[in-house]
Every structure is written in structure tokens, then in C-alpha cells.
Structure 1
Amino acid sequence: MRLRNKPWAQDEISKEPTIVIGNPEQHKGQWKELFGNNNPIHIEVGTGKGQFLTKMGQAHPEINYIGVEKYTSVIITAVERVRDENISNVKFLNKDVLNLGEYFEKGELDRVYINFTDPWPKARHAKRRLTHEGFLKLYDTLLKPYGEIHFKTDNQGLFEYSLHSFSKYGMTLNNVSLDLHKSNFEGNIMTEYEEKFSAKGMRIYRCEAVYANSQ
């Protein structure tokens, strides 16, 4: 994916400190205090332009959402959406997913969303896939017991790899769909990529993976 450079994005992000949390390590273990409630916390890793979380936040005010996206030129669109819609239960971290352990305490999260992540198709890049065992261990430490990963992709190879990765880790698979938009699954909220791919008639793969018990 080629990213359009937006040199002004960082300045705009700095103007929204209540939406983009600039010092997330200071809130480790205290995110409920930041949101001002005891609602469950769901995060999306690689949140992109934020369409998914924006709509999720509107549809589920009883959930607190945090989107993690390292690219400033991408996350600025997500910030603008949340600001313009005045959504109070969605925050963002302009940070790398690799450092999640610095921002969240053990057992602080309830669910992780992974949507249309880079498939990293070459075998030597497998460790970069967000469903690789290394990332599953990271999410496991941050999720509550029996925490969930909700995963969607258009890439069949990545989906097959991820199903194997989840199963090998000992997770339970639920609601596995090989063609989401032709299934009876209800309540689906689409990402930008999902809208684009499904409009072309491409299959969308989805599953939910539940940890046997968080570490």
C-alpha cells in the first residue's frame, strides 16, 4: 500500500489530544479512568482510516474502542471522523502494534479486532503477520480470560494461515465464514477495504477466535 504523504497531519493530530492519546503508557492499567466508565475495552490493530471503529462506536456506546495505527497520514482521517461525529467512546493511538504491552496492562482488554491486515505473503515475513504466534502471545497477555480476536480479510491464504495459527495456539474458532456477505451473519460493519473488495464481488473471510484462558 502506497501512502500519500500528508506533512500537515501531525500538527492536526496534536490539536486533538482527547482523541489521539499522545502518552498512552501513562494510562496503562487506567484506561477506564480516561473513558470515565467501566465499559469493556475493544481495540483494533491497524485501524487505518477509522471507518470501522467510527461506526462501531456509534452502534455500541456501551463499549470503549481504541484504534492503533502507526501511519500518521492514515490515522488523520480516522481522527477527523471521530471529531466531526462527536463520538466520545473512540480513541486512537498513533503507535506501532509491536508496543502494545507498553500501553495496556495484563487483562485490561476484552477484544481485539484485526481487519484486512497486510498478508505479508512471503514465508520469511511470516512473523510480521498480525495473526502470527508472536502476536497471539502479545494479545493473550493483554486480554481478559477467554478474550476474543475478531478477524476479517479478503486474502484466502492469510485466512487459512490464521485459522491454523489460532488452532495451533489452542484457541476455539467460532462463526467461521468463507463468504461473509453471503452468510447469515448479522451486525457486520464494513471497513473501507471491505466495501471496495465486496463491490468487486470478492469473498470476505471472517472468524472469531477465543483464547482458552489468558495468561
Structure 2
Amino acid sequence: MRLRNKPWAEEKLADYPKYVIQQPKSHKGQWKEVFENNNPLYIEVGTGKGRFITEMAKAHPDVNFIGIELAKRVIVSALDLLIEADLPNVKLMNVNANDLHGFFAKGDVSRVYLNFSDPWPKNRHEKRRLTYETFLKVYESILPEKGEVHFKTDNQGLFESSLMSISRYGMLLTYVSLDFHNSDYQGNIMTEYEERFSQKGNRIYRLEAHFQ
């Protein structure tokens, strides 16, 4: 379903600096000051409408979270969730994932979540996939040694290419599920897409990996 344009979205994002980081480059290496604690920071790249990041923040008050989303018309829905929940440990950034190393220093982020990313199924679009090697290099630049990437999708082709890309990069796979919702994994928090796809009977794939 194509989302309608929201010309007022940019203004709304600017109106809520409590929840939306306005100048992320100025906080590079200083995110503990932003959240006013020493808790680990997890980010979700492609946070969509914000259900996952908001529910994760509720479930893990001892962790800081940032939801990253490029589309303004989408991230304003995540902002609405944050305004309602009013959680101190979650914020949003309206930026491009290509530029993460400009906002975070090495070790600023402890974990990266990638949930139901655009599969970009055509071979010529492979470099746009969020698990492609150029993105993995960006994640490595902001994570500590053995920093983790957690990935979920319902797209088998994307999952297979992600397994190959992550393995080729030299990361260590620590968890792989080809039918995640029928696994014994505890504590899963679903995204909006995940709930919709699973209700249709789509199989959900999940992996966890860390840099070495």
C-alpha cells in the first residue's frame, strides 16, 4: 500500500526535539549525555511506524533505543507512538542509513536491528539491501568489537542473500531460524509488517550475527 504524502511531516518532526534528534552529528561520541545514563544503545535501521522500537523500549528500560527512518511520511507515525508512550529511553532520527558513521563513533552503538527491510529483489539493486557489504562496513564502524546485528524478514531471497553477505564479510552467525515463529525463541516483539505477514501464513526468518 502506497502511503500518502504528508507535507506537514517535516514541521512536526521539528516540533518535538524531545523525541526526534534534530542535529545528530553534534552528538557523535556523546550519546550517553543525550540519554543522561550509561546504558547500552541499540538502534533499529528502518524503524517504519515505530512499533518495534517503542515496545522494545518498554520491555527494556535499562537500554537506550534510537529508531532510524528516512521517510518523513512514515517516521511521523513512530513519533505519534513515542508521544503517547512518553518513554525516556527511546528517540528517533530522520536520516539515511548510509550516513550512520557520521552520527555515531566507534562503540557508540551496541546492537543494530534490521526488521523487514526492503528486499530490493533485482540483482542490479543488490547494493541497496541493508545487509549488503557496504552497509555492514558502516555498522562495523559504529559497533564495538563483536557488536551484534539482528535481522528479521519474511522474504526468503533476501534472507538467503543476507546469510551469504554476512558470511562473506567474515561475521560470525550465532543464531539462524528458517521458521522463527515456530521456534522456541522467547521475548520476540513483532513489527507491524511481521504481524501482518505472519497472519497471512508467511514464514518469518531471523538471524543474529556479530563482527569479529
Q: Which residue of 2 aligns with 1:76?
A: 76
Q: Which amino acid aligns with 2:192?
A: E
Match of 2:203, as an amino acid? R
1:155 aligned partner, one-letter code? N
Q: Counterpart of 1:196?
A: 196
* Alignment deviations for residues 97-147 of structure 1 (CA, whole Å, 9 cap, x no partner): 111111001221100000000011111111100000011011001101100
Amino acid corresponding to residue 100 of structure 1 in structure 2: L
Count how many residue pairs are aligned between Structure 1 and Structure 2: 212
Aligned-partner Cα distance in 1 for 2:174–2:205:
13
Q: Partner residue of 2:139?
A: 139
Flag as ranges the 4+ runs of structure 1 deviating above 4 A. Answer: none
What is the alpha-carbon distance in structure 1 between the residues aligned to residue 72 and residue 137 of structure 2? 27
RMSD of aligned alpha carbons = 0.9
Q: Gapped runs of 5+ residues in structure 2?
A: none
Aligned to 1:102: 102
> 1:34 and 1:96 mapped to 2: Cα distance?
20
Q: How does 1:83-94 map to 2 (within 5 A)?
A: 83-94=83-94
User: Structure 1 length as normaliser, TM-score?
Assistant: 0.97
Distance 1:13 1:168 in 2: 38
> Could you tell me the percent identity over the aligned residues?
58
Give, as a single letter, the amino acid of the residue that structure 1 aligns with 2:184: N
Structure-to-structure mapping, 1:142-181, within 5 angstroms: 142-181=142-181
Structure 1 distance, partners of 2:21, 2:15, is 11
Q: 1:62 matched to which residue of 2?
A: 62
Partner of 2:37: 37
Q: Which amino acid aligns with 1:119?
A: P
Please name the residue that 1:187 is paired with.
187
In the alignment, the residues of structure 1 paired with residue 28 and residue 211 of structure 2 have an alpha-carbon distance, to the nearest angstrom, of: 22
Report which stretch shifted further, 28-37 or 170-179.
Answer: 170-179
Residue identity in the other structure for 1:102: G
Q: Report the AA paired with residue 160 of structure 2.
A: E
